[in-house]
Amino acid sequence: MNKLLATLIAGLFATSVYAQSTTAPATPVTTTTDSTTASGQSGTAGTTSTGNADADKKIAKANEKEAKEMSKQDEKINKAVDKANEKKAKAHDKAEKKVAKANEKVAKADPEDKTKAAAKAEEKTAEANYDAQKTMIKADEKAQKKIVDANADKAKAHAKANEKRAEAVAEAHKDAAK
């Protein structure tokens, strides 16, 4: 299950990186003269003037919204990872306590009951480790789901920003053609 989730996340990440690299470069830009030039505008990196103040404002607003959404989603990812790590640490500590308690009972047992107590301690240790692993897996699974959702929201925000930038550039070209 973890391999499947890791593969899905890697695929989503690769898709978003590919989308960013294929949609970002070479957005045509209009200058204040009648000539039209192609100027490279890659996503939110660096802003190129379209020569139209309204379009430039819309582009800046789209870039700002995208950056804000990316930051928000990064926070969600960090929060999910932190929460999972906290749950995993608690589960590990709980298992360690159960194992220590079982070993303590073995040490306190009478010599004739030592083997029986040791067998019972092994059973309790196995059970504690299983419970801890199960809790850790659930924590990772929950965190991975949140990470996938956040990455999807990031991709949507990037696509929306690209749409707004393209609309602004198209509007600037339309105004320049008048």
Q: Give the ranges where 51-113 is alpha helix by DSSP (H).
A: 53-108
- Give me the pLDDT at residue 82, please: 95
- Give me the pLDDT at residue 2, please: 67
Domain carrying residue 161: 2-177
- Give me the pLDDT at residue 44, please: 46
Q: pTM of this prediction?
A: 0.63
- Give me the pLDDT at residue 16, please: 61
Number of structural domains in the chain: 1
Distance CA 63, CA 43 (A): 8
Q: Which residues in the chain show pLDDT less than 70?
A: 1-8, 10-48
Tens digit of each residue's pLDDT (9 = 90 or more) over 143-152: 999 999 999 9
- Give me the pLDDT at residue 49, please: 73
Distance CA 34, CA 121 (A): 85
- Give me the pLDDT at residue 50, please: 75
Query: Phi, psi at residue 40, to the nearest 5°?
Result: -75, 120
Helix (H) or strand (E) holding 177: helix 114-177
